[in-house]
Amino acid sequence: MTDIDAPLRSASGFDLTPPGEAERVALEADLSAEEKRVLLAHGTEAPFCGTLLGEKRDGVFCCRQCGLPLFRAGTKFESGTGWPSFTRPVDDAHVRAVTDRAYGMTRTETRCARCDSHQGHVFPDGPPPTGQRYCINSVALSFVATGSPLPDPLGRGDGVA
């Protein structure tokens, strides 16, 4: 393998190379209708109904589609908004910011840096130390308790939480 063929890696060591077409088809086939609506069509789940809103165990929240670790449990906080909220990503390279001008307003959409799935939005009204509130759809995430294997649907050997 040449350097040109080497996978793109984050500072924390995760492979950020986007899935190929066949991999993307397989990932999308594993999603429920609601997951497809949020992750692929940039939808939003209803507030206060997400299964991860009350999750308090130690671990990591990963992209539901590709398994990339996005947020650590220690950065989760109760925002009162009805969606899981976090102060920072596991690695800044794991979450991509995109300007969203839908619905007559300008917001910053957050997407998984590996598979480009819609996660939610980030707002500058969070608590210290970052002042950021990553407001994320529960359906866009999967939770992995500390010590458990991370989801690895792309077979990239990304390790344990």
Q: Which residues are catalytic?
A: 135
8 Å CB contact between 15 and 5: no
CA distances (Å), origin 130, targets 68, 78, 89, 94:
22, 15, 11, 17
- The answer to whether 35 and 139 are in contact (CB under 8 A) is yes
**What is the spatial distance between Cα 39 and Cα 125, in angstroms, rounded to a whole number?**
24
Rounded to whole angstroms, how far apart are CA atoms 63 and 120?
11
